Chains A and B, each alone.
Chain A
Amino acid sequence: MGDTATMTDQIRVLVAKPGLDGHDRGAKIVARALRDAGMEVIYTGIRQTPDMIAEAALQEDVHVVALSVLSGAHLELFPRVVAACRQRGITPENTLFLGGGIIPDEDAEALKQDGFSAVFGPGAHTGDIAAFVRLHVPELDRS
């Protein structure tokens, strides 16, 4: 009981898969790991359009939007999700954008230019993802 009233800082994360690839193993593992790190993870499932993801991020008022694409279309899809979010007032200033998938370094750099705080590829430690979120969520403008 003592705990339930003092959860102002509970971190909420949206884990979503834009595009058409149905490989959600990685997304589910990350969702589970963030749950185990004490976060509330909203999982929306596969084959989401950028607008669907942005709308879910808006309604759920999440701190983090974590996207996974394994088809190689990340340079196509990730920026479109960011754009749909920006249209709704969800920006890298008030929300962390994380990308996951098989993403070459030069693509990761391009995504960072576009508003992504970090990109995690194969071999990334789930503990590192949770630590990154914990470190950077307090820097967001949540007024």
Chain B
Amino acid sequence: MSAEALDAPPTALNGRLAELDERLRQKDRRALARVLSWVESGDARGRAMLRALYPRSGRARTIGLTGSPGAGKSTVTNELAKAFRGRGQSVGIVAIDPSSPYTMGAILGDRVRMTELYSDEDVFIRSLASRGALGGLSAATQDVIHVLDAYGKDVILIETVGAGQDEVDIAGAAQTTILVNTPNMGDEVQTLKAGIMEIADVLAVNKSDLPGANRMVSALKALLSLNPDRGWDAPIVRIIGTSGEGIDALAAACDSHFEELERSGRLKTAERQRARQQITSLARANLLNRLYTESGEAELDRWSEEVASRRSDPHTAAAIWLSDFGLGES
């Protein structure tokens, strides 16, 4: 993109893009779906649309749901969507599943638990494949959220890839993060570990009709009592996703967290933090892409061989590879 193009007013869309923008304003769901595809694939048309739409975003509430595979994230997402719909709010759902690291193919199956939402025109569900990203989201997740937000969704629910312990990107992407736990997830040492247990703003204990639920709740309570004061004590909410029991309490816990963010001023600082994170990750991806030219790849192959055969070490190789691009050590 030339500097001139970057300076153009963000509304300067023409032809097809202007038409799509107009259709988005008319709440045309098919136009929304197509713009999301462009944005997801990093298409130039997607970037142009995003520039035009961005000033209209920033109004939606964003809630992330994370937890291990099988914890019930999709079911809870479905129930939460119904709860917000019951209040008359429109809902966007972004559901992320993993891409195969070998073929980049993916099975996106979160919709199976959300079929009852299909007939509601005010719910828009989009499945994303992680496409190589490792933090539990996909690289385009934030942009997909911006577009749904600008389209006018009141609440956006983001369901992460089934997370282990380290997939914590959701905390940076959503205003409120719900960690979905289940009974019998392991002993108490699991709750002491760093990572995913630390990012929860709301702790849901799903399948709480199963034995072990009480023990899970006590373990979480014990964990919370040791946490340093962050100005917010994550509430523990017992739910049964399949029957909807406890979902209103879960939605209320999200409300309380949001009110606390507003009251404390952390809503604004977190928004700046999110912006900073997205800028740096885009810049990082951009820089890396510039290194992956044909000659850059060839050099990388050469250095990989050097390092593998112990003629060089990884740090030296990385420094020299970068210096070829005028990015020598500073």
CB distance from A44 to the nearest CB of B (A): 5
User: Does A122 belong to the interface (CB within 8 Å)?
Assistant: no
Q: Which residues of A contact B109 (CB under 8 A)?
A: 42-43
| B29 and A52 contact, CB distance less than 8 A | no
Chain A residues, Cβ within 8 Å of B132: 1, 3-4
Name the A residues within 8 Å of B108 (CB-CB). Answer: 40-43, 60
B105 interfacial by beta-carbon distance below 8 Å = yes
B131 contacts A31, C-beta separation under 8 Å: no
* Number of chain B interface residues as a range: 35 or more
In the complex, which residue of chain B has the Cβ closest to the Cβ of A42?
Answer: B108
Q: A7-B42, A56-B118, A60-B126 are in contact. Are A39 and B29 (CB under 8 A)?
A: no
Report how far A107 CA is from B119 CA in the complex, Å.
Answer: 30
Contact A38 B103 (CB under 8 A): yes
Docked CA distance A6–B16 (Å): 22
Closest to B127 in A: A42
A56 cross-chain contacts in B, Cβ below 8 A: 111, 118, 125
Q: Are B112 and A4 in contact (CB under 8 A)?
A: no
B30 interfacial by beta-carbon distance below 8 Å: yes
A55 proximity list for chain B (CB < 8 A): 118-119
B137 located at the interface, meaning its Cβ lies under 8 Å from any Cβ of chain A in the complex: no
Count of A residues near B, CB < 8 Å?
37
Are A8 and B41 in contact (CB-based, < 8 A)?
Answer: yes
- The B interface is mostly helix, strand or loop, or mixed, namely mixed
B222 at the interface (CB under 8 A from A): no
A23 close to B (CB within 8 Å): no
Give residues 27-83 of B contacting A (CB, 8 Å): 29-30, 33-34, 36-37, 41-43
Instruction: Assess the B115–A7 pair: CB atoms within 8 A.
Output: no
Given A1-B289, A5-B42, A58-B30, A37-B119 contact (CB < 8 Å): no
**A104 interface residue per 8 A CB criterion:** no
Q: Tell me which residues from 119 to 158 in chain B have a Cβ below 8 Å from any Cβ of chain A.
A: 119, 124-127, 129, 131-133, 139
Task: Look across to chain A and name the residue whose beta carbon is closest to the beta carbon of B43.
Answer: A8
Instruction: Indicate if A111 sits at the interface (CB-CB under 8 A).
Output: no
Cα of A45 to Cα of B289 in the assembled complex, Å: 38
Q: Given contacts A10-B131, A44-B115, list 5 more A-B pairs with CB under 8 A.
A: A40-B105, A42-B109, A43-B109, A55-B119, A59-B124
Write the residues of chain A forming the contact surface with B, with a CB cutoff of 8 angstroms: 1-8, 10, 12, 31-32, 34-45, 48, 51-52, 55-56, 58-61, 88-90, 143
